[in-house]
Amino acid sequence: MKTYMEEYKNKLITADQAAKMCKSNVIVDYGMFATKPVDFDIALAKRAGDGLENVAIRGTGTVLPVPDVIFKDREQKTFQYFSWYFTAIDRKAGDFGLVAHNPFNYHEATILAYSTDEFAHLKPQIWCAQVAPMDGQGCFNFGLGNSHNRGLALNSKIAIVEVNENMPRCLGGNDEYVHISEIDYIIEGSNTPIFALPPMPEPTSEERKIAEYIVEDIVDGACIQLGIGAMPNLIGNMIAESDLKDLGIQSEMFCDAFVKMYEAGKVTNAKKAYDINKSTYSFCLGTKDTYDFLHDNPRCASACVLHTNDPARIAMHDNVIAINNILEVDLLSQVCSESFGLRQISGTGGQLDFVIGAFHSRGGKGFLAFSSTYKDKEGNIISRIKPMLTPGAAVTVPRTQVQYLVTEYGKVNLKALSTWGRAEALINLAHPDFRDELLKSAKEMKIWSRTNKIPF
């Protein structure tokens, strides 16, 4: 059998050598989430100010360690950092003007990465991502960040893998690897620990009530998508403790609660339209235990994000249940899930993908969940249901696409409701202390009738 060690040795370089290949006025793509390169980033940041100019670095969901190219070139004389999806690191850097957001719907990432014509201007000169060690067939597995890594690797001018022995090997699926013949260089990294989330905080009473409203709508054989955050994980944990059975998983993110669902015997994937007997996902952010669960697990399938998030593909499954968090909604039922005013908090990600896909699934339901209020820095109670979105807030889910909204005060299906019906439904979901004020605003906005108790 052919071995690839000679080719491996010929392509082996140091991180500093790789960084020297970067030129001015180019795009450098980092791997997604936990596949972000570490050693290459450190080496590249050392080149700040040495004649390099206008180097665009693109990341997705930046995690620790903080990229050196951001904070070691604060004047941005050499590097400008862009993120497809904001995390806490991106938010903080964005507060200082050091990171800009690239808005998009997540399923489009694969299309953009593979495009060689219309979006040729987006092709990176250099792509570099952390990968698992090469296997006997000469393949480097993308581990916890399949997403759109393969498309970027194949369409970059220079493709570099940074090997980390700690990266789990996440089986496919599709697009879960790049072959040694498809890359240009190999960095043997310093094997830094793979970023892992701490355990989720204990849920609040409001979150538990919201979760109860959603779980009661899940049926045997449903196909589950869970988004990022404490609420989706809580719902997954409640599913694990329920009497539900034969559940399937198709989710852009594989979260910790899915492991508990497996351990409780709730997941079989037997009722899915495709990827039968496998849980399909595109990336994972979770605890070390979750990463260990995914390593070499044939019951799970790592796939490119077009495969997991294309609304038409999602809709092929019956009874899709999509569960995601939002930040605020206005009385017109426009949903913002990604910014507080002009401050970018996260991104559209796959939320709209799954809202649309779940609605078109036979028996499917797309839930957007949120506690009705939050506390600001001064301790004031603020309603998440507002007459109009905060100025500058991005519309993540247009009102025409919103299906179910859920707070601790109930849930409502907004599909086909009039502007009057939507306003009434939203006011009923609000905290009682804010309902009179919202009703007054609805009247001023002419979306309230004196007989506004009819369902449409």
Cis ω on the peptide bond leading into residue 65 (within 30° of 0)? yes
Q: Do residues 112 and 119 lie in contact, with contact meaning Cβ atoms separated by under 8 Å?
A: yes
The neighbour count for residue 140, using CB atoms within 10 Å, is 26
Q: Which strands, in side-by-side order, build the sheet including 320-325?
A: 300-302, 279-284, 248-254, 223-226, 320-325, 365-369, 404-407, 410-413
In angstroms, rounded to a whole number, what is the distance separating the alpha carbons of residues 323 and 8? Answer: 43
Q: Do residues 121 and 137 lie in contact, with contact meaning Cβ atoms separated by under 8 Å?
A: no
In angstroms, rounded to a whole number, what is the distance separating the alpha carbons of residues 174 and 177? Answer: 8
Tracing tokens 């201007």 back to the chain, one arrives at 121
In angstroms, rounded to a whole number, what is the distance separating the alpha carbons of residues 286 and 425? Answer: 35
In angstroms, rounded to a whole number, what is the distance separating the alpha carbons of residues 26 and 196? Answer: 31
Please give the C-alpha separations between residue 390 and each of 96, 339, 375, 394, in angstroms, as whole numbers.
21, 9, 16, 9
Told to judge if 424 belongs to the known catalytic residues of this protein, a careful annotator would answer no
Tracing tokens 């998009």 back to the chain, one arrives at 104
Q: Do residues 129 and 88 lie in contact, with contact meaning Cβ atoms separated by under 8 Å?
A: no
> What angle (nearest 5°) sits at the alpha carbon of residue 90, between those of residues 401 and 405?
25
In angstroms, rounded to a whole number, what is the distance separating the alpha carbons of residues 47 and 68? Answer: 11
Active-site residue among 108, 252, 338, 408? 252
Task: List all residues 6 or more positions away from 5 whose beta carbon is below 8 Å from its beta carbon.
Answer: none
Catalytic positions, written as ranges? 252
